[in-house]
Chains A and B, each alone.
Chain A
């Protein structure tokens, strides 16, 4: 029972750690653009449609391919077609501002739910937004000292994570008596893995930095 619970927690930890390593690589090495079209008076400002479009057009200008196809409109009340899109990975704190961006479409308004990801919040223009509470934040990094959120606009094959041969994720359990345990009092469970996240083409990935409204 305890081991099962521990294994479950470790599995969650392993994948979150994997995500965090990729997140930190993107935050360290991606090209950045600040939101500048908001009205907050900070730099970067809050998220706006003009800022989103500027990044999308920059990616298009760099020949970055979009990841998802159109979702065609259907005769369903309250829905709207969704454009082909780059994917955006952002912190969940940004969602309230995202809701206020012109042209935002929540996933519940997509004409079809077949290809909606569990972590997807909605779309703006040619971008579809994924959220996570462990998204990237630069604390106190705006001109006025507020937190800055990294929104990674990603084209197809813009980055990759490469697992090292022979060092893919391993769950390791050691029973009583292992290690320095002559009185059979300790058991351990853990994991290890090696991975290398890298941007493959820096022109196909842009970090749109935003503060909150």
Chain B
């Protein structure tokens, strides 16, 4: 290896076989990962992956050890390394949607599908403009066919969307943050569903803002303390039994212009550090499945930064 530079971080982990993100103290110029478990065992698999600054997302320079112990060079084009820089987050490319069902959950059809857990923003959703501009966590994916908008109940919408677009977006660093609301129960206690996994914890205090077009005006502007959470729901200390129903406006009303209902973090539980609004931004490297090793493999990595000549 002929890389000049200072080691900015190094470490080891036991692979689960799934892609893994390593947080680093600064931007790396070079990253190398070696599979300690497989090295020298003739595994017919990648035993080392390398990344240099400037390489495209998802790429890697690999060393493959054959079943006969021969080392050969290879490359990854999609499942290698991806640099993560929260100061420079970029959206994915626009992808066409051919339909979104009026169902629970809504299902979007597209020839190119995102991955489960991705966050997508829907735009240009013809006949379903009440969600145009909203962001959603992706649920179950039928690759190349469709994907669920996991926390959207669009069963009450008047019509399915007949066209549209989506982009994969990155969730910015300040968490917990403002989240769009897709449902509120008229019950005791009121339970709020957010369009993407919210990141709040029990004890956090929130403000609930619901524009008139979405019904339930009685809850607009109220403060609430969170008593329980799931990934996408928040149980509040509000009794909304007597409130009018929360409902999305029609597509035509939305086309004339609406603001989206949302919750804000306004106070935090003092006993859980991660309950506070915090900046989770970091530099890092995402190690894709070509380079992260198989389940239980021990992986050693080193990140360097040096002088560019």
Contact = CB atoms under 8 A, between A and B. Distances in A.
Interface in A122-156: 139-145, 148
A92 interface: no
Contact of B174 (A25, A41, A44, A186): A25
- Majority secondary structure, B binding face: mixed
Interface stretch (B57-65, B155-163, B256-264): B256-264
A134 B198 CA distance: 27
Nearest to B254: A43
Contact of A144 (B91, B124, B172): B124
Given A43-B258, A143-B123, A145-B123, A29 B174 contact: yes
* Residue from B254, B257, B266 having most chain A Cβ neighbours under 10 A: B257
A84 to B, nearest CB: 25
Contact of B178 (A30, A44, A179): A30
Contact of A29 (B167, B260, B277): B277
A31 interface: yes
Interface stretch (A32-40, A94-102, A106-114, A165-173): A32-40
B133 A143 contact: yes
Contacts of B307: 186
A27 interface: yes
B94 interface: yes
Interface residues of A, number: 36
A56 to B, nearest CB: 16
A202 B133 contact: no
A121 B266 CA distance: 31
A115 interface: no
A198 interface: yes
B94 A140 contact: yes
Nearest to B180: A32
Interface in B253-309: 254-260, 262, 264-266, 277, 279, 307
B213 to A, nearest CB: 10
Contact of B260 (A34, A35, A140): A34
Contact of A28 (B133, B178, B207, B209): B178
A24 interface: yes
A30 B264 contact: yes
Interface in B217-260: 254-260
Contacts of B279: 21, 24-25
Nearest to A33: B259
A143 B277 contact: no
A143 B132 contact: yes
A34 B259 contact: yes
A141 B133 contact: yes
A199 B121 CA distance: 26
Interface string B99-127: 00000000000000000000001011000
B174 A32 contact: no
A44 B286 CA distance: 35
A161 to B, nearest CB: 12
B211 to A, nearest CB: 8
Nearest to B278: A196
A70 interface: no
B207 A180 contact: no
A33 B220 CA distance: 13
Contacts of B2: none
B264 to A, nearest CB: 5
Contacts of A32: 178, 209, 259-260, 262
Interface string B169-198: 000111101100000000000000000000
Given A28-B177, A37-B257, A43-B257, A143 B6 contact: no
B121 A141 contact: yes
Interface of A: 20-21, 24-25, 27-38, 41, 43-45, 139-145, 148, 179-180, 186, 198-199, 202-203, 209
Given A28-B172, A35-B257, A145-B167, 4 more contacts: A24-B173, A28-B178, A145-B124, A203-B207
Interface of B: 6, 87, 90-91, 94, 121, 123-124, 129, 132-133, 165, 167, 172-175, 177-178, 207, 209, 254-260, 262, 264-266, 277, 279, 307
23 contacts: A24-B173, A24-B174, A27-B174, A28-B277, A29-B174, A29-B265, A29-B277, A31-B209, A31-B264, A32-B178, A33-B259, A35-B257, A36-B259, A43-B133, A43-B257, A142-B123, A142-B133, A143-B123, A143-B255, A145-B94, A145-B124, A148-B133, A202-B264
